[in-house]
Structure 1
Amino acid sequence: MSDPLPTARRTVLAAGAAALAGGAVAGCGGEEEPSPIPESATPGTSGPQAAAPSESAGTALLKTSEVPVGGGTVLKDRKLVVTQPTAGTFKCFSAVCTHQGCLVNKVAAGTIDCPCHGSRFAIADGAVVKGPATRPLPEAGITVSGGQVSLA
Structure 2
Amino acid sequence: MTAELHSRRSALVSGAAAAVALTACGSGGGSGQAPPKAGGKVLALAEVPVGQAKSAKTPDGQEVLVAQPEQGTVVCFSAVCTHQGCTVDPPRNGQASCPCHGSVFDALTGEVKKGPASQPLSKVAVKIENGDVVTA
TM-score, length basis structure 1: 0.62
Paired position in structure 2 for 1:81: 65
Q: Secondary structure at the match of 1:73?
A: strand
Paired position in structure 2 for 1:53: 34
Q: Secondary structure at the match of 2:53?
A: strand
Q: Is the 8 A contact 1:105 1:113 kept in 2?
A: yes
Paired position in structure 1 for 2:100: 116
Q: Is the 8 A contact 1:85 1:123 kept in 2?
A: no
TM-score, length basis structure 2: 0.69
Letter in 2 for 1:45: G
Deviation at 1:43, TM superposition (A): 7.1
Q: Is the 8 A contact 1:44 1:94 kept in 2?
A: no
Paired position in structure 2 for 1:64: 45
Q: Is the 8 A contact 2:35 2:124 kept in 1?
A: no
Aligned residue pairs total: 106
Deviation at 1:130, TM superposition (A): 1.0
Percent identical = 44
Q: Secondary structure at the match of 2:91?
A: strand
CA deviations over 1:45-75 (Å, ceiling 9, x no partner): 17xxxxx527311111110011122221112
CA deviations over 1:20-41 (Å, ceiling 9, x no partner): xxxxxxxxxxxxxxxxxxxxxx
Q: Matches of 2:111 and 2:64 in 1, distance apart?
A: 15
Q: Is the 8 A contact 1:43 1:94 kept in 2?
A: no
Letter in 1 for 2:109: D
Deviation at 1:93, TM superposition (A): 0.5
Letter in 2 for 1:111: Q
Q: Map residues 1-152 of structure 1 onto 2, 5 A cutoff.
A: 44-45=29-30, 53=34, 55-75=36-56, 77-152=61-136
Extract unaligned runs of 5+ from structure 1: 1-41, 47-51
- Answer with 1 or 2: which has the greater Rg: 1
C-alpha change, 1:61 and 1:43, in structure 2 (3 Å) is farther
Q: Matches of 1:89 and 1:113 in 2, distance apart?
A: 23
Extract unaligned runs of 5+ from structure 2: 1-26
Q: Secondary structure at the match of 2:46?
A: helix
Letter in 2 for 1:59: G
